[in-house]
């Protein structure tokens, strides 16, 4: 009987130990999640469907990065800028730059296609690998929440396709650039380099 009690006591102790470890792990995970959520700037705390498959993507995953947000279109005189945007992404992504593309049919009906058509066009024609999101509205009263906040912060709404907004590592608006300003312009690349040098 004493031996049975000893075994029972040892088993109970082991179970309590496992429970403590498990609850500690859950607490750590919860704290980590809270920390992660708390460190996401308000501007990025938004979710949009991914262009390729409509999978929801929370922009908090880009917290701490420098972002170049662009409204795009497949049948525009500025469409070749996809090549320059992809080059920017390739050249500076290792340092923390992310280009975010938002196809829109707001200007000249130059993005009439469905998501799959747009995704195929971007990849097959320009080799686009930077994150792209489902077609959306980027101007006027129905502008999506990200563009609405960027417009408010910068005081300037997109006037045409391939309008660009630069966002710092801290999630704050830095500047905006007209469609005619190419991704490789000294103004954009200079601002990107300065933003990448700053820590949030």
SS3 5: helix
Q: Is 76 a known active-site residue? A: yes
Which is nearest to 133 in space by CA: 46, 13, 197?
46
Backbone angles phi, psi at 101, to 5 degrees: -100, 130
What gap in Å lies between CA 132 and CA 100, rounded to an integer? 6
- With vertex at residue 35, the alpha carbon angle to CA 34 and CA 39, rounded to the nearest 5 degrees, is 115
Judging by DSSP bridges, how do beta strands 66-72 and 97-103 pair with one another? Answer: parallel
Handedness of CA 158, 99, 89, 51 (dihedral sign): negative
From the list 40, 60, 76, 122, the catalytic residue is 76
Residues β-bridged to residue 177? 164
DSSP 110-162: ---S-HHHHHHHHHHHH---S-BB-----SSTT--HHHHHHHHHHT----STT
Q: Which residues are catalytic?
A: 76
């Amino acid at each position: 009987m004493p031996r049975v009690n000893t075994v029972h006591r040892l088993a109970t102790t082991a179970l309590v130990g496992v429970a403590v470890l498990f609850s500690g792990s859950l607490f750590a995970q919860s704290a980590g999640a809270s920390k992660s959520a708390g460190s996401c700037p308000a501007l990025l705390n938004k979710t949009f469907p991914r262009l390729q498959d409509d999978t929801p993507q929370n922009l908090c995953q880009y917290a701490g990065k420098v972002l170049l947000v662009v409204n795009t279109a497949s049948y525009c005189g500025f469409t070749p800028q996809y090549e320059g945007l992809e080059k920017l992404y390739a050249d500076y992504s290792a340092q923390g730059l992310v280009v975010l593309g938002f196809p829109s049919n707001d200007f000249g009906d130059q993005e009439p296609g469905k998501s799959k058509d747009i995704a195929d066009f971007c990849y097959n024609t320009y080799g686009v690998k930077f994150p792209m999101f489902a077609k959306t509205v980027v101007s006027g009263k129905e502008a999506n929440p990200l563009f609405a906040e960027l417009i408010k912060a910068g005081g300037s709404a997109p006037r045409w396709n391939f309008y660009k907004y630069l966002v710092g590592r801290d999630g704050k608006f830095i500047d905006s650039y007209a469609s005619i300003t190419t991704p490789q312009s000294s103004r954009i690349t200079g601002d990107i380099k300065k933003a990448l040098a700053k820590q949030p």
